């Protein structure tokens, strides 16, 4: 009796972009990256996160300095001014202060992010790889998990990035903050970070999927050979748009992370510091811009009481309090500080991240395929 060999459908189809040929319809779709182990998603995501943030770290430094500048009209500077000032005062090395903290935080955080994302995407998509709502929702859940891992090191990273930072390095910053401000300071901006990254992720993934499908529809026959370009282009567009939309919350997050929260200050001392702060700002106005960043070291003993390197201190860590303070001093434009370097960071960063992540998954897919081939031959 003749038997028909029916092979099970593979869980993963390579390349990751395929054109549906089962029906006459010309609709294109994106196949899911199935068949990978949990640890493989984590490794691919970890590598992608490290490559992304290390490559774009100088731009992130400029963004942080623009957003953390003390609210004062004379300090409403642009990207070019900050870049020139850093190079003039500190040299190129100033652009990389805090990169160690980024390396320690980006890898584990992105490992959590992409692994949680893939698991949630598989669960919510229910066999529909083009479900943008499932992609966005999965990204939001992944953000909540990854931000819990990344936020403490992001606090350390941003404090080290500031001009005349009082910390000697990553470990010194961690020990000092823990000793003087408590462990809560590492998560002072967590709520803001999640509130910022949730819409960022939703916009990012919705845009990424839409642009990716659009590129596929333009030239579906060449997608298989140009999937790296497709990932990079879609990622860049998604990163730029999401960054622009969420800049105000990023400004709030940076202000919260860079303030100095000393629980030992009495109310009287706080009032004295506020008076000294006002006098200090008046003195600052007499300096030209090029000297503005130079006075950080001489005024550090004073500024450290109201914020790291001059960042504002807030009566509490509420988002509303920070927004009101910024708007009162700088107007609504103060909430847009750093939007240019933020977009310049996230556009290429997303392109690098998605390309690296997909390449990593492709590598593990080939490894798994080769293992399956050897297993079938052995049996």
The CATH number of residue 58's host domain is: 1.50.40.10
| pLDDT tens-digit series, residues 180-201 | 989 988 998 898 788 878 888 8
Is 299 or 256 the better-scoring residue by pLDDT?
256
The count of domains in the chain is 1
Q: Report yes or no on 13 lying in a domain.
A: no
Burial 312-345 (b: 16+ CB within 10 A, else e): bbbeebebeebbebbeeebeeebbbbbbbbbbbb
Q: Report yes or no on 261 lying in a domain.
A: yes
What value does the CA radius of gyration of the chain take, rounded to a whole number of Å? 24
Q: Report yes or no on 374 lying in a domain.
A: no
The answer to whether 136 and 202 are in contact (CB under 8 A) is: yes
pLDDT greater than 50 at residue 302: no
Q: Report yes or no on 276 lying in a domain.
A: yes
| Residue span of the structural domain in which 158 resides | 36-364
pLDDT above 90 covers a percentage of the chain that reads 17
Burial 155-168 (b: 16+ CB within 10 A, else e): bbbbbbbbbbbbbe
The answer to whether 258 and 325 are in contact (CB under 8 A) is: no
Rounded mean pLDDT, 94-105: 88
Q: Report yes or no on 319 lying in a domain.
A: yes
Q: Report yes or no on 23 lying in a domain.
A: no
| pLDDT tens-digit series, residues 65-84 | 887 765 444 344 677 888 88
The answer to whether 247 and 336 are in contact (CB under 8 A) is: yes
Q: Report yes or no on 137 lying in a domain.
A: yes
pLDDT greater than 80 at residue 32: no
| pLDDT tens-digit series, residues 242-284 | 999 888 888 887 777 676 544 444 444 444 544 555 544 444 4
pLDDT greater than 80 at residue 211: yes
pTM here is: 0.66
Rounded mean pLDDT, 161-180: 87
Query: DSSP readout, 308-325?
Result: GGGPPP-SSS-HHHHHHH
A 10 A CB-CB count for 280 gives: 18
Q: Report yes or no on 51 lying in a domain.
A: yes
Q: In whole angstroms, what is the distance from residue 307 CA to residue 258 CA? A: 7
Instruction: Give residue 31's pLDDT band: very low, low, confident or very high (50, 70, 90).
Output: very low
Is 148 or 162 the better-scoring residue by pLDDT?
148
């Amino acid at each position: 009796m003749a038997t028909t060999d029916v092979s099970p459908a593979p869980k993963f189809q390579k390349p990751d972009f395929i054109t549906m040929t089962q029906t006459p319809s010309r609709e294109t779709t994106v196949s899911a990256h199935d068949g990978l182990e949990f640890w493989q998603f984590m490794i691919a995501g970890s590598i992608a996160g490290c490559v992304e943030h290390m490559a774009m770290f100088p731009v992130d430094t400029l963004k942080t300095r623009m957003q953390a500048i003390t609210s004062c009209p004379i300090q409403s500077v642009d990207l070019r001014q900050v870049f020139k000032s850093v190079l003039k005062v500190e040299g190129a090395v100033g652009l990389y202060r805090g990169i160690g903290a980024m390396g320690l935080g980006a890898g584990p955080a992105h490992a959590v992010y992409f692994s949680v994302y893939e698991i949630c995407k598989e669960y919510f998509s229910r066999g529909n790889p083009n479900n943008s709502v499932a992609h966005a929702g999965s990204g939001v859940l992944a953000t909540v998990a990854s931000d819990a891992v990344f936020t403490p090191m992001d606090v350390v990273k941003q404090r080290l990035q500031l001009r005349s930072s009082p910390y000697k390095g990553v470990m010194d910053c961690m020990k000092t903050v823990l000793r003087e401000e408590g462990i809560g300071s590492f998560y002072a901006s967590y709520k803001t970070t999640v509130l910022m990254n949730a819409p960022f992720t939703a916009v990012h993934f919705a845009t990424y999927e839409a642009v990716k499908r659009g590129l596929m529809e333009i030239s579906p026959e060449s997608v298989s050979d140009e999937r790296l370009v497709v990932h990079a282009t879609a990622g860049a567009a998604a990163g730029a748009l999401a960054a622009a939309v969420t800049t105000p919350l990023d400004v709030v997050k940076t202000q919260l992370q860079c303030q100095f929260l000393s629980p030992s200050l009495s109310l009287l001392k706080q009032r004295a510091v506020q008076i000294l702060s006002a006098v200090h700002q008046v003195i600052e106005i007499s300096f030209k811009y090029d000297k503005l960043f130079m006075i950080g070291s001489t005024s550090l003993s004073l500024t450290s009481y109201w914020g790291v390197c001059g960042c504002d201190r807030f009566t509490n860590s509420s988002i509303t309090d920070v927004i009101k303070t910024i708007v009162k001093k700088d107007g609504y434009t103060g909430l847009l500080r750093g939007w240019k370097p933020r977009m310049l960071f996230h556009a290429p960063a997303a392109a690098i991240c998605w390309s690296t992540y997909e390449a990593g998954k492709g590598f593990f897919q080939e490894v798994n395929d080769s293992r399956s081939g050897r297993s079938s031959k052995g049996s």
